[in-house]
């Protein structure tokens, strides 16, 4: 319920941000083509609803999109079914996410925890982008990919935006 509420809040957030949701292969392909053909500045933000670090990053992405109105941010949920073959082309097959999973107490009363969960995304094929996990951000300037941030490194995200788009 909480995740659904966060997702709905992100969709309905007011403000003058220029975040474009990508929900189909055609929309992704046409957005990437537009950025490349018109030599635009853009950020492609790969995320997932279940991703905790992505939820941490989302408000910051919104603030930065307002600070840099000349940069369009394209938000792509990697689990979106309409992106199937595009995700495959970008070579996304799995995402490793760390998540505590209680396993029960041992004889000394300690709780065992598993911390790695692999989400198989073979059914959601995007390939030459080589995403190692979410969140991943690809930064374009003058129509060319010039930088990338993997993970919820807020300072690196802010620094990259400042360096590229000031």
For residue 55, the domain's CATH number is: 3.40.30.10
Domain count, the chain: 1
What is the mean pLDDT of the segment spanning 125-153? 80
Query: Which is more confident, 72 or 117?
Result: 72
Name the percent of the chain lying above pLDDT 90.
Answer: 43
| % of the chain beyond a pLDDT of 70 | 61
Token pair 């595009």 is found at 86
Residue 22 lies in a domain: yes
For residue 2, pLDDT over 70 is answered with no
Active site residue 127: no
Q: How confident is the model at residue 96 (pLDDT cuts 50, 70, 90)?
A: very low
Q: Of 35, 48, 51, 90, which one is the catalytic site residue? A: 51
Question: Does any domain span residue 137?
Answer: yes
Residue among 42, 54, 129, 134 flagged as catalytic: 54
pLDDT band at 155 (very low <50, low <70, confident <90, very high): very high
User: Is 102 part of any domain?
Assistant: no
Most confident region among 15-24, 47-56, 80-89 by mean pLDDT: 47-56
Domain residue limits at 90: 17-95+131-165
Q: Is residue 117 part of a domain?
A: no
Average pLDDT over residues 122-148: 73
Q: Does residue 24 sit within a domain?
A: yes
Task: Answer for the pair 86, 125: CB distance below 8 angstroms, yes or no.
Answer: yes
The secondary structure of the chain in percent helix, strand, coil, rounded to multiples of 5, reads: 40, 30, 30
Q: What is the pLDDT of residue 133?
A: 76
Instruction: Tell me what pLDDT residue 43 has.
Output: 97
- Which residues are registered as beta bridge partners of 27? none
How much is the pTM?
Answer: 0.69
In a domain, 31, yes or no: yes
In a domain, 123, yes or no: no
């Amino acid at each position: 319920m909480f995740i659904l509420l966060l997702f709905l809040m992100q969709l309905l957030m007011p403000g003058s941000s220029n975040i474009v949701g990508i929900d189909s292969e055609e929309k992704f392909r046409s957005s990437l083509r537009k950025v490349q053909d018109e030599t635009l500045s853009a950020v492609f933000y790969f995320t997932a609803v279940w991703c905790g670090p992505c939820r941490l990053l989302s408000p910051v992405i919104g603030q930065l999109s307002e600070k840099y109105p000349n940069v369009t941010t394209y938000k792509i949920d990697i689990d979106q079914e309409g992106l199937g073959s595009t995700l495959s082309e970008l070579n996304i097959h799995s995402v490793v996410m760390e998540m505590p999973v209680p396993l029960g107490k041992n004889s000394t009363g300690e709780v065992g925890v598993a911390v790695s969960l692999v989400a198989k995304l073979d059914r959601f094929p995007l390939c030459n982008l080589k995403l190692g996990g979410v969140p991943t951000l690809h930064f374009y300037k003058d129509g060319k990919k010039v930088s990338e941030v993997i993970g919820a490194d807020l300072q690196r995200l802010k620094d990259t935006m400042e360096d590229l788009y000031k």
